[in-house]
Every structure is written in C-alpha cells, then in structure tokens.
Amino acid sequence: MAITSSTLYTDFLAIFVALAICVFTYFKWTFKYWERRNVPYIKPNFPSGTMQNPLWPTVSLGRTFGKQYKESKEKGLKHVGLFTFSMPNYMPIDLEYVKNVVACDFNYFIDRGVYYNEKHDPLSAHLFSLKGTKWRNLRAKLTPTFTSGKMKMMFRLVLECGKHMTYAMDEICRKQVSLDIKDWLGGFGTDVIGSCAFGIDCNSFKDPNSDFRIVSKRALDQTNWEIAKIFLGFVHEKLARKLAICTTPTEVTKFFLKIMEETVRYREKNNIMRNDFLQILLELKNSNEMKEVKGSQNFTIEELTAQAFIFFLAGYKTSSTTMSFCLYEMAEHQDIQEKVRKEIETVLETYDGEVCYDSIKEMKYLRQVIDETLRKHPPLEYLLRTCVKDYKVPGTDVTIEKGTAVSVSIYGLHYDPEYHSDPEKFDPERFSEENKRKIKPFIYMPFGEGPRMCIGTFPSKSRYNFIFFLQF
C-alpha cells in the first residue's frame, strides 16, 4: 500500500511539474510576441503580463495604462506592446496612431472586445458590448434618443429629482451632519436614471434602502469572482461562452427584467406616453425600423432591459464620481467656486430665478469647470478596441493581427504635458472660448471619440450642469 501511494504521489508530482513547464514555456513564448514583430514592448511579468493582479490591484487599470503611456512617450516611442496575462495588447502613443485607431481606420477596430452572452446573460448584450453590424444598426437607431430636443423634453424629470435632493440637503444642513457626497450624488443619479430609463419614482433621499437603490449598488459592487469572470471573457471569449459565463449577478438580472416587464405592460395596457428614454425604446420596439437590427419587428423585453441597463450603468457610477471630483476641486479652489456661484446668480436673474434647460446652457464658466474636471478625472480612463482584420500601421512594417486587443490611454493623453501644460493643475481656463479652439482633436476625450464614443455624452454633461447648480 505504501509503495502504491508513493507511486501515485510521484506520478502526480511528475504530471504537475510537466504541466508547470508547459505553462511556463507557453508564457515565455507568447511574451516574445511583440519582439518577433519588431514592436517595442514593456517587459511582462509571469503570469499577469504588464498588468497588476486584477483581483488585488493597487491602482486602477486606467492609471496603469497612463503610467505606461507616459514612460513610453518619454522614450520617444510611437506605439508600445503590452500583455494582458499572455494576451498581446497594442497601445498607440503617437497622436496620429491614436486618431487612426479611434476614427480614421475605425473599420479595423469596430469592436470593443467586451464579453457578452445574450442567451445566458441578457443584460450584458447592450450597446456598449455589441459587435459589428448589430452594434452599428442599433447605434443608428438609438442616436436620436440623445439629441438636445429629446433631452429638453426629459428635463422636467431631472428637475423633479433635483427638488427631492435639495429638500433632503436642507434637512442635512439643519442637522449639521456629515455625509458621503459620492453616495449622495449616487442617489441623485439613481433617481434620474430610474425615472428616465425605467419610468419609476425612486426618491432615494426619502427611502435610501429602496429595492431599486440596493440592487443598483449590487450591480456596481463586483465581487472578485465576478471580476475574474469578466477577465476570462476578455482574455478567452470562446471559452467563456462554452462555459455559459454570466457577468451580471442573477438577482440583478431578475430585478431589472421584472421592473421592465411590469412598466411596459402597464404603459401599453393604459396607452401611457411619457417623455423619457423608455418611451423612445418602446417606439423603436413597435417600429419596422428594428428589422434592420434584429431581423424581426420587435425588441424583446430582454433587449429593451439591456439598453436601459447600460444607460443606468454608464450614468450612475461615472456621473456620481465625476460630480464628486468637481465638488472636491471647487472646495480646493475657493476662487473658482465663487466665480461659478456668481455666474449662476447672474444668469438666473435674467430668467426671473427660474431653473430651466436654457438657463443652465448659458452657464459658460460652469461648463469650463466641468470640462476641466473631466480632463483631470476622466470617467473613461482608457478605450478598449479589438482589431477585427489584419491592419498595417501606416509608415511602418508592423501589422496588428486580427483579434489583437488595442488600448488607448485617455488618462495618458489628458496628462500629457505636450498637449496640456502643467497637467496636474486644475485650470478651467483651458476650456475658455479662446483656448478651446486650440485643443487638438483626440487629446481630450473623456467620453471616448469617433463612431464608438459614448452615446450619452450630451445628457451626461447636461446632468453635470444641473447637479452643480443645485449644490450652491
């Protein structure tokens, strides 16, 4: 028996050592990928490549990309090779290369490379993650949703949410208690998106423990296991699909699908029309135009919910974070805060004190402050793209192979002293009417750029304007 156990142990150890050697050899070979293609690269570490451990990061991936961008630019490089574990990742440094990836040669980089699974994880199949023709057609249908006219129609809903917040803020001031401003602004974001995207009145300030608020937080607070699944989908999409990996928590999917089903059923049964995002989705659902997207006339409930869900994800966390940073910067720079306050008072005097869509649009300096916040604290710190067909980098003998991941460092561009003097300084004058004209294309893109830029850029900026008015 002892001999048998010893033999099994020896066999197991031999198999383990053989597998370890195979894995190490594979990584060693793949880590030479960029060297074989004459592309300068950052030396990778086993097994995470040029990344930090994604489960225990010390800084964000965007900051990591920003540091790699800066180091590569200081060496005079026009592009650099990175590794996500063993997967090659290409980063353009030169502005022309950035422009080519994001816009000029967009057809080579049309996909984001974000994992989704329509069958097992329906909420993951939204505009942000869809690929190719399906994304292009859906984008074309949703773009009219985010015009100034549509936003003006939704403004009343935003105003109502703002009133709830000001009443709650008055109560906080009377009690003289401290609060977590990011969480507070997240409540406002929850109310706005709940109203505009799902047609429900959340009033997070009156009921901070509402089901919608709790599930919303759950959707954004990812566990290490969920982060690992997202990375698996990014690194090996085919394997993730075979394993039916879901990146959206089951309870979140069930909750949002239930809300959407009930709201749609109620509106259609009672012939209710409302000036919100959901109404536009319903009009698309019932129009013949959707044949181009689905091959059938109607959106399914799952597809409707997925588009409303990404509207929620994009608006909730990025908005509350950016607004928090803006308030922080104004607290640090009292002169800027005072100038914003005076502008608000002056503009509202011409509108008899009325807060309206047009009065907010006239607050030019406030716009500058928000733009500078978005430069210094971009909600998107990097852009992800996937090369969908072999691409020869202009002016070089380098070919980016089909399937290669591409990362554009927005954080790096925003902090590049060649484009933004003294980039660590908070200076709204960078975006004055005179200076704004001097900003080169593609050096400032807090919501991305090109055909795949964030479709919600306009409403995001509008909501930022509105929230800051309420804070004074």
Q: CB 373: neighbour CB atoms within 10 A?
A: 25
CA-CA distance, 190 to 316, in Å (whole number)?
A: 6
Q: What is the pLDDT of residue 464?
A: 55
CA-CA distance, 204 to 461, in Å (whole number)?
A: 22
Residue numbering of the annotated binding site for heme = 454
pLDDT band at 184 (very low <50, low <70, confident <90, very high): confident
Q: Calculate the CA dihedral of residues 43, 380, 199, 301 and round it to 10 degrees.
A: -40
CA-CA distance, 305 to 151, in Å (whole number)?
A: 20
Q: What is the mean pLDDT of residues 101-118?
A: 94
Residue from 310, 313, 315, 62 nearest 185 by CA: 315
CA-CA distance, 328 to 181, in Å (whole number)?
A: 10
CA-CA distance, 251 to 285, in Å (whole number)?
A: 25
Strands 87-92 and 391-392, bridge-based pairing: unpaired
Helix, strand, coil content of the chain in percent (nearest 5): 60, 5, 35
Q: What is the pLDDT of residue 393?
A: 97
Computed over every residue of the chain, the mean pLDDT equals 87
pTM passes above 0.85: yes
Residue from 437, 447, 440, 375 nearest 411 by CA: 375
H/E stretch holding 405: strand 405-409
Residue numbering of the annotated binding site = 454
Compute CA distances 101 → 26, 57, 113, 288, 388, whole Å. Answer: 29, 28, 14, 34, 12
Q: What is the pLDDT of residue 112?
A: 93
pLDDT greater than 90 at residue 122: yes
Give the model confidence (pLDDT) of 301-325 as tens digits: 898 899 999 888 887 777 888 889 9
Q: What is the mean pLDDT of residues 412-424?
A: 97
pLDDT band at 281 (very low <50, low <70, confident <90, very high): confident
Give the model confidence (pLDDT) of 212-256 as tens digits: 888 888 988 888 888 888 888 888 888 899 999 999 999 999 999
